[in-house]
Amino acid sequence: MKILVFGKTGQVATELQRRGTVIALGREAADLSDPSACVAAIETHAPDVVINAAAYTAVDRAEEEEPLATVINGETPGQIARACTARGIPLVHISTDYVFDGSGQAPWCETDPVAPQNAYGRSKLAGEAAVIEAGGVYAILRTAWVFSAHGNNFVKTMLRLSETRDSLNVVEDQIGGPTPAAAIADACLLIAAELIRAPQKTGLYHFAGAPEVSWKTFASEIFSQAGCNVTVTGIPASDYPTPASRPANSRLDCGSIKAAFGINQPDWRAGLYNVLTDLKNTAK
């Protein structure tokens, strides 16, 4: 199976490359701000399946750069999807819980109404709509709270702060399922192969780690596993304002992906252990 991956240095793209032979395209080879370049890459490489693991992910900066975010997260995925449809190529496209309004306490289902509360969420929703409209074989994988040993993420931020701080205030009224990028990569590869065999499984799917926790609890577990002596105090999100509104409820119902592909929610605590081990080995 010849797999073309858009993205090279991001968290999921890095994990995909660690799992076998894929053709991973960075910005220099396929700039997502130039949709035609991505279409040309599909024509050049003629893959069996495409995984779009690249995106504009600077949530706060997107408030000032929404047109650019919308091209990268919305228009380009649509062009990629149309190119895949024309060639009969399945597409796995990664999206986000930010397409919802973040209200309530129940885990979000794929059929729940969408109402993004920030520019990033709007741009990702535009991408979902464009992929669906292309009419091909696809799986849109909504996920949340992605972490790994690569790139920028909450785990690495907490570890960096622990080097100079012995106490931290962390938001405790936002709840979600931290998701190891490694588990997302594994899910993408399994789904890609299955879509070739069973294209009727086209659709929207949710995939996030378990159990659901607050950022405060996530931070406490990071410090516990890493052996860092840091006291974590919970604060409301209102005490930590950001340019982009964050959802209070990032819980995702992952029943559909289990039913269709047999994919279970990963235990993020085990994934965290693997990431911390990875970071230690890298530091040696």
Q: Which of these, 89, 3, 79, 94, lies nearest to 38 by C-alpha position?
A: 79
The answer to whether 56 is a known catalytic residue is: no
Determine which one of 120, 138, 205, 240 is catalytic: 120
- Report residue 49 CA to chain centroid gap: 19
State residue 217 phi and psi, 5-degree precision: -65, -40
Region of 150 (left: φ > 0; alpha: ψ -120 to 50; beta: rest) is: beta
Count of other CB atoms within 10 angstroms of residue 229: 8
Report the catalytic residues: 120
